[in-house]
Every structure is written in structure tokens, then in C-alpha cells.
Amino acid sequence: MQPVISLKDIRVTLGQNFSLSVESLVLQPHRIYALTGPNGAGKSTLLRVMALLLSPQAGTIEFAEGDSRDLARQRQRVTLVEQTPYLFEGSVTDNLNYGLKLRGINSRERSERIKATLAIVGLEGFEQRQAKELSGGEVQRVALARALVLKPELLLLDEPTANIDSNSLQAYEALLRGLPEYGVTVVFSTHDPSQSRRLGEEVLRIEGGHLIDGSRRGPQNQTFTQRSSVHGA
């Protein structure tokens, strides 16, 4: 199978004190990748680079197919859910509709997809709820649903369980574990080594400014990284 995304010779410098460089990183489809490491190591920066929100000063990012010069089109193949997601003003449906409308999907298909996706994240009947009335955990789920409804090839989650209470954690992790069934490749960042082992089929650890070729698991582990490194100063 073709990789979902390939990064080659990426270099990003943010200010004078931080730089990220990735020689080569290849992600295979329908897998869950855990990205672990201490604060400031470059996890969020790497996710933003993969989400095409941050342009590297050097290097190439390639998706399985399509014209890599059409940034807006390429961005529609990958979705990032931030650690503290922002929900637009309006209802849950308004939020889920946003990306669907940008893709020109008709109203009937939009409402079908919204209903199905809210069921996946356990928020049936939340269509008309106002974003500002939701709890922290519900916001996290709506943000996940807003990303999933777009059927992205690559879903990037920055510390997705950081704001979720322990009661909801198990259900949320089960939800993440099931995402590859929907054809999604997931990369999530976490501080929790046990969570990365529980969820990640492949574990990528950033430590001391380097991307360590971490504890590989699963039958397709040979498809992971080749000499990738992250430098933080």
C-alpha cells in the first residue's frame, strides 16, 4: 500500500531557540501512531507540519496522490484536532457542516454523515446543541466528530485526552482504537507512555531533541520511520 504521507529532509526553525528536522518519515495507511516525548520536544510542531499549517523552511511533504503544489486541496486530506479545540459559534451541526460545505457536499449527504459521525463519538442527538453549552469532554468529542465527518486520510490529534476526565478516558481510547476501521490513519501525541503503548500500534518518541525509533509493535512495524530526527535547543 502507498504511504499516507511522506516527509523528507524537513527543517523548521521557530525563533532562535527551536528547530525541528526530520530526515525521513513515512506513515502507512490505517495505522495508529503514538507520538510521545516531553514538553517542548517538537510534538505539536511536527503535527502542524503534517497538517500543512506550518511550512517548513526546507524539505518535502508528499501525500499518496495528487498535486503537492495545491496546498488547499492537500490540506483537505489531513485534519488536526488541537489539544484544546476551538468550536465555532453556533450549533454542533454548524461545526460539523463547516468542512463539509467547503468540500461542496450536498445537504442530504451532510446530514447523513453528521448523524452517523455523532453516533460514532457517542453524541447522538447533539445536532442542535450550542457549542458554548458543551462540557470540556463534549467539546473534545465534537472536535473529533468535526474532523472525522470529513473522512480524512490522516487524522492528527494533539494530546487528545489531556482534558478528558478519567471516567470518559476509557471510552475515548476505545473510540480512537476503532478509527482505522473507518479508513483513517491516526497520529496522536501524548505524555503518557502507558497510553502510547495501549493505543499506538507504532510508537514514536521525541527526546532530547531527537526522534527515537521507539518501541515498535504490530505486524507492519517495518513500515515506520527511516532515520528521522527532531532537534530542539
Partner 1 sequence: MGYWGDSLLTAFELILGFDREVRMAVWTSLYTSSCSIVIAALLGVPIGLWLGLNRFRGRQLLIALLNTLMALPTVVVGLLLFGLLSRQGPLGPLGLLFTPLAMIAGQTVLAAPIVANLVLAAVTGADQRIINTALTLGASRLQAAIQLLREIRFGVMAAVIAGFGRVIAEVGVAMMLGGNIRNSTRTMTTAIALETSKGEFAFGLALGIILLSVALIVNLFLNALQQR
Contact footprint for partner 1 (CB under 8 A): 51, 53, 72, 75-76, 78-80, 82, 84-86, 88-89, 98-99, 102-103, 146-147, 150
Shortest distance, position 126 Cβ to partner 1, whole Å: 18
Edge to edge, the sheet with strand 5-14 lists 18-27, 5-14, 58-63
Is 105 or 175 the residue whose CB approaches partner 1 more closely? Answer: 105
String of DSSP letters for 14-79 = ETTTEEEEEEEEEE-TT-EEEEE--TTSSHHHHHHHHTTSS--SEEEEEESSS-TT-HHHHHTTEE
Kindly give the pairing relationship between strand 5-14 and strand 154-157: unpaired
Shortest distance, position 200 Cβ to partner 1, whole Å: 22
Query: Element (H or E) spanning 11, and its range?
Result: strand 5-14
Is 7 or 51 the residue whose CB approaches partner 1 more closely? Answer: 51
Is 153 or 201 the residue whose CB approaches partner 1 more closely? Answer: 153
Shortest distance, position 78 Cβ to partner 1, whole Å: 8
Is 36 or 79 the residue whose CB approaches partner 1 more closely? Answer: 79
Shortest distance, position 143 Cβ to partner 1, whole Å: 9
